[in-house]
Amino acid sequence: MDAKQAEKRIKELREQLEYHARKYYDEDKPEISDFEYDMLMVELRNLEKDFPQFQTKDSLSQKVGGHVKEGFQKVTHEVPLQSLQDVFSFDEVVEFIERMQEKAQENNIEEVNYVVETKIDGLSAALEYKNGKFVRGATRGNGTVGEDVTENLKTVKTIPMELKDKIDITVRGEVFISKEDFEKMNQEREENEEELFANARNAAAGSLRQLDSKITAQRPLDIYIFNVQKVEGKEFNSHYEELEYLEKLGFNVNPVRIYCKTQQDIEKAIQKIGEDRENLSFGIDGAVVKIDDLKFREILGSTAKTPRWAVAYKYPPEKKETKLKDIVCQVGRTGVITPMAILEPVKVAGSTISKTTLHNEDFIKEKELKIGDTVVIQKAGDVIPEIVEVKKDKRTGNEINFEMPKVCPVCGALAVREEGEAAIRCTGIECPAKLFRNLVHFVSREAMNIDGLGENIIQQLLDNGLIENIADIYTLKLEDIASLKKNGQKFAQNLVDSINASKQNDLYRLITALGIRHVGAKASKLLAKKYKSMDKLMEAPVEELSEIKDIGEVMAKSIEEFFDQEQTRDLIEKLKQAGVNMNYQEQEGEDNRFEGKTFVLTGSLEKYTRGEASNIIEKLGGKTSGTVSKKTDYVLAGEEAGSKLTKAQSLGVTIITEAEFEKMIQ
């Protein structure tokens, strides 16, 4: 490679690494594996070494990859939180040891000892204590400046708020989520059809960097402390001694630390950690080899990015070949149909893999997967199994192409994939796989508003076989409900009253409750007002629906497909039989003073919630929007109004106060 080619490739690598570092450190949404990122970094380092004229200080090979997230206060680290030099073979570890021995001889140091520790796969943080009390915590950020996440760290149960000694100390640790807790989190997210966390590290990082500490408190974060950054009134000679002292103070210290005197000791320690990694309760992405003598560390010093007295040995990801025996489809609680690979069982990274998600139709096409293929399995982040490669050279000609189903495999309703979406969804409202979520939505406040029928009670009704579809809500008996709670007679009576009251709801609430894709409360009100009855709405042609203002083609098609379903018509007939209102309720002297007017709400109001103010506007014929544009008629601005108010001023949109709004609605 000549200098011109090298310069071009270095530029390409820096752009790729900057992009992937942003995805990993700042957005907590990596698109490539750690190993793939590491290999790009190794290539960059080697090229910069061979062509030093192209090396610059802003290259990611010379600095830590993270940035401070907007919304957090910045914290300047008194002692930088550096990253480690990665090595990928034991030969490189030997080179490090030989380098350390040479430096020791130059400085008349007779004995060099090491500590080998697990490199915990999490998010680095510094904890600061004054007089033994926790006063501040920050993320690593770019190593020099991090994010103040004190309130979030206070929710981590293993961080002591007060130490056993009244000492001023700053320590460094790794915030992580255990393997078991991570699997539970992703299982729950899969059931709710939320995006899965790529790995435990990103789940931990995303949890710690929440702007709302209440969200962080709901996540199962843990921490292991592995270094003293700064301490006053106490001196240590060795790193191992530091770790023992940290335990006495009450810290949760990295449990895997092996004291080593020789190269053979270090090799055995790395091998042992590699063999035991599957039995550890937390994820690791390597083993760290550190000089134990703290004075020797001072002599060795650091580069701008890494200390010279440590390296991180990175274990290669384990891959195995197996057969793709079949592809089956599962239906989640919100109706998303997900293809699942059924594999010949194979042991990868310590656990037996017999199935894995194939995500969606696009993933199968991208990998060109066929039933019967030989595939390569890898555990992403050592947790989630995934198919990374198809061995096309091993095909026999007996492999079978796979197509996503056109109907739901559970209930037989139409399965649709909408433009711009990767997911295929079941459209059946009575689908057993979707029943829980459909029930929760049906009874919710913005829909049929059945007070007392929360998620817990719905689950109990399902578990006890008291309801099997939405219409069964209206056949519930007082004694059935009372049996769910100790002394539940009063609760049961209140719930029965609420269920009966919901039968008289206006038509728009029932339309909202049906959960037609893309149709919310606003559109439901438009439809109820236009068609006056459920029967007329059910027969409305798509061309007519699409001409209604604020409905459009996508929503119109969704409405037509929904009412064409046999399940939909069956449910509506059952609801009719139960006495649920199917007609628009004309309001006497209906007031449409805001007809054709669009409002945007910003800031906090004194007398109303935003929801209450929106309801008032809509009842008076107006509509609300979340964004300010030239088409906006009024911006209702409360206290601490932000960027929407500024934009309204720049566009010349009429701005009204809460007092002015009250005059308008009198």
Q: What are the catalytic residues? A: 119
CA atoms of 202 and 210, how far apart (whole Å): 12
Cβ-Cβ contacts under 8 Å for 52 (sequence gap 6 or more): none
Residue 429 — φ and ψ, nearest 5°?
-75, -20
Question: What is the pairing mode between strands 623-625 and 85-87?
Answer: unpaired
CA atoms of 272 and 139, how far apart (whole Å): 30
Assign 128 to helix, strand or coil. Answer: strand
CA atoms of 297 and 364, how far apart (whole Å): 51
Helix (H) or strand (E) holding 223: strand 221-231
Pick the closest to residue 362 from 338, 335, 380, 381 (CA basis): 338
CA atoms of 137 and 147, how far apart (whole Å): 8
User: Which residue bears the tokens 């770019």?
Assistant: 142
User: Which residue bears the tokens 């009412």?
Assistant: 563
Cβ-Cβ contacts under 8 Å for 240 (sequence gap 6 or more): 115, 257, 259, 292
CA atoms of 554 and 194, how far apart (whole Å): 23
Judge whether 428 and 411 are in contact, CB under 8 Å: yes
DSSP calls for 372-432? T-EEEEEEETTTEEEEEEE-GGG--S--B-----SB-TTT--BEE--TT-S-EEE--TT-G
CA atoms of 483 and 473, how far apart (whole Å): 15
CA atoms of 160 and 163, how far apart (whole Å): 6
CA atoms of 583 and 533, how far apart (whole Å): 4
Residue 651 — φ and ψ, nearest 5°?
-90, -5
User: Which residue bears the tokens 């606003």?
Assistant: 522
Judge whether 533 and 539 are in contact, CB under 8 Å: no
**What are the start-end ranges of the E strands in 92-132?**
114-120, 123-130
Q: Is 113 exposed, middle or buried (0-12, 13-18, 19+ CB in 10 A)?
A: middle
Residue 491 — φ and ψ, nearest 5°?
-60, -45
DSSP state of 197: P
Pick the closest to residue 294 from 248, 241, 252 (CA basis): 241
CA atoms of 639 and 642, how far apart (whole Å): 9
Residue 56 — φ and ψ, nearest 5°?
-130, 160
DSSP state of 307: B
CA atoms of 532 and 135, how far apart (whole Å): 62
Task: State which amino acid sits at residue 567.
Answer: Q
